[in-house]
Amino acid sequence: MSGCEGGSCSTCSGDPDRLPPGMLRKYDLNGSTADGILVWAETEGEKLAKVSAELISAASGLSDGRVYVALFGGPDMKTLYPEIFGYGTDTIYHIRGKGVETYAPETYSEALAQVAERINPAAILIGATPRGRETAPRLAAMLETGLTADCTGLRAEGRKIVMTRPAFGGNLYADIECTAFPQMATVRRGTFPAPEPREGKGTAIYWQYQGAQTKEIISEDPSEKDAEDICEARVLIALGAGIRDKTIVELAEKAAGSVDGAMVCCSRALVERGWMPPSRQVGMSGRTVRPDLYIAFGISGSVQHRAGISGAKRIIAVNTDQNAPIHAFADLSIISDAEPVLRSIAELL
Ligand SMILES: Cc1cc2nc3c(=O)[nH]c(=O)nc-3n(C[C@H](O)[C@H](O)[C@H](O)COP(=O)(O)OP(=O)(O)OC[C@H]3O[C@@H](n4cnc5c(N)ncnc54)[C@H](O)[C@@H]3O)c2cc1C
């Protein structure tokens, strides 16, 4: 080692490990000792985001090491500690400071990098939410590691995390390994089951972030949200391109209205027709759902649609074509026109 930090001197040039002139290797994590999993606990108002609860609970099953959680916010966020510990967290790093009073991807990623540098985790998991998708790549760049975005599955092989995500337009699922530590993934909501709320205890550490905000948000205009979320539904009545009459959508809504916890969702075909909003689309570019019962009317079962329903406990397919791919993974197949079946269900209910 020459002791210099740049890559332009004659001693260092040509060394592939050298960084460009002026760049310091700031977060040099040690892959041989990296252990445990760090999860960013995102919050929605004063509540823990559902995807974060799923990830924290999954992390304790994936890792033999410790589970760390990074939580941003003021002292009022302490009310979330019992829930976060209850999902299997050993240590909460509660990050505070002027620079992180409001969300900004630059400061949040820097603060997370500082925590990661301190604990040296083997993996970092972040929800594939709008904020997670914005923050995770910045954090990965700071830590000089790889990031697998929008995962629909994770499994552990010792310290290694094998990350699964749809690839090539959803025509296949790729298992991806990160060759550097910490291994990073953003993970979709619904990839893991929602944990039962429970309370626990552990260690909480205040982490003072020293940086400064680089931006100020002067106004926020949230896009309109569907009042109900199909990810919460216990029973889903799913409609696909085989539905030819738009009044069937109303019929399905009526049937769903008669069952507690039931909602109507759809394949991309009906969103493209403008019959249902994108928030109701299930699949690779829609939502991942885990209902107790999924009844698919006129849905063929493309790989892209299937990507969103692999967590469904029971699938019933109603389809006129007995060779439709959906029958291969449905628990019960009804080879029939969708409309009379749906009408009978609505009348019975
Ligand atoms: C990058 C990418 C991302 C995608 N993301 C998604 C996604 O998130 N979600 C999604 O759903 N798709 C997605 N798609 C589209 C996907 O490839 C399929 O085109 C779509 O899922 C097909 O929807 P469907 O099953 O409703 O229609 P079709 O495949 O057209 O199937 C219609 C089915 O209805 C049956 N049928 C016809 N008439 C009747 C009747 N009277 N009664 C009963 N059954 C009947 C037919 O036999 C057929 O099986 C994506 C595609 C790409 C390339």
Q: What is the pLDDT of residue 20?
A: 52
Is 5 inside a domain boundary?
no
184 and 291 inside one domain: no
Q: What is the pLDDT of residue 4?
A: 38
121 and 258 inside one domain: no
Is 74 inside a domain boundary?
yes
The amino acid sitting at 327 is H
Is 27 inside a domain boundary?
no
| Residues forming a β-bridge with 186 | 126
Tokens 């290797």 appear where? 25
Is 1 inside a domain boundary?
no
194 and 296 inside one domain: no
Q: What is the pLDDT of residue 316?
A: 97
243 and 165 inside one domain: no
Distance 182 CA to ligand 1 centre (A): 38
The amino acid sitting at 184 is M
Span 266-285, pLDDT tens digits: 999 999 999 999 999 999 88
Contact 183, 69 (CB under 8 A): no
Q: What is the CATH number of the domain that holds 164?
A: 3.40.50.620
Q: What is the pLDDT of residue 14?
A: 46
Distance 237 CA to ligand 1 centre (A): 15
Q: Is the pLDDT of residue 339 over 90?
A: yes
What is the residue range of 163's domain?
37-208
Tell me what percent of the residues of the chain surpass a pLDDT of 70.
Answer: 90
Distance 286 CA to ligand 1 centre (A): 13
Distance 104 CA to ligand 1 centre (A): 38
Is 18 inside a domain boundary?
no
**Residue having the nearest C-alpha atom to atom 38 of ligand 1:** 242
Span 112-169, pLDDT tens digits: 999 999 999 999 999 999 999 999 999 999 999 999 999 999 999 988 999 999 887 6
Q: What is the pLDDT of residue 3?
A: 37
pLDDT band at 226 (very low <50, low <70, confident <90, very high): low
Candidates 286, 293, 276, 285; CA nearest to 241 is: 276
How far apart CA 36 and CA 95 sit, in angstroms, is 19
How far apart CA 287 and CA 280 sit, in angstroms, is 8
79 and 173 inside one domain: yes
299 and 170 inside one domain: no
**Residue having the nearest C-alpha atom to atom 51 of ligand 1:** 304
Q: What is the pLDDT of residue 5?
A: 38
Burial of 258 by CB count in 10 Å (0-12 exposed, 13-18 middle, 19+ buried)?
exposed
Average pLDDT for 27-37: 79
How far apart CA 273 and CA 252 sit, in angstroms, is 17
From 173, 208, 243, give the residue that closes a domain.
Answer: 208
How far apart CA 121 and CA 112 sit, in angstroms, is 12
Instruction: Give the dihedral sign, CA 69/73/77/80.
Output: negative
- Ligand 1 pocket at CB < 6 A: 169-170, 240-242, 267-269, 281-286, 298-300, 302, 304-305, 308, 318-321, 324, 337-338
Distance 224 CA to ligand 1 centre (A): 26
Tokens 């699949």 appear where? 283
Distance 43 CA to ligand 1 centre (A): 34
pTM for the whole structure = 0.76
Closest ligand 1 atom number to CA of residue 337: 42
82 and 173 inside one domain: yes
Candidates 35, 37, 5; CA nearest to 20 is: 5
242 and 152 inside one domain: no
Q: What is the CATH number of the domain that holds 295?
A: 3.40.50.1220
**What is the secondary structure of 157-191 as a DSSP string?**
ETTEEEEEEEETTTTEEEEEE-SSSSEEEEE-TTS
Q: What is the pLDDT of residue 6?
A: 35
253 and 131 inside one domain: no
Is 214 inside a domain boundary?
no
273 and 327 inside one domain: yes
Q: What is the pLDDT of residue 199?
A: 87
pLDDT band at 197 (very low <50, low <70, confident <90, very high): confident
Q: Which residues contact 230 (CB under 8 A, 6 or more apart)?
A: 236, 263, 265, 279, 280, 282, 287, 289
Candidates 301, 303, 305; CA nearest to 271 is: 305
**Residue having the nearest C-alpha atom to atom 11 of ligand 1:** 267
From 153, 177, 208, give the residue that closes a domain.
Answer: 208
Span 54-68, pLDDT tens digits: 999 999 999 888 999
Number of structural domains in the chain: 2
Instruction: Give the dihedral sign, CA 165/167/173/179.
Output: negative
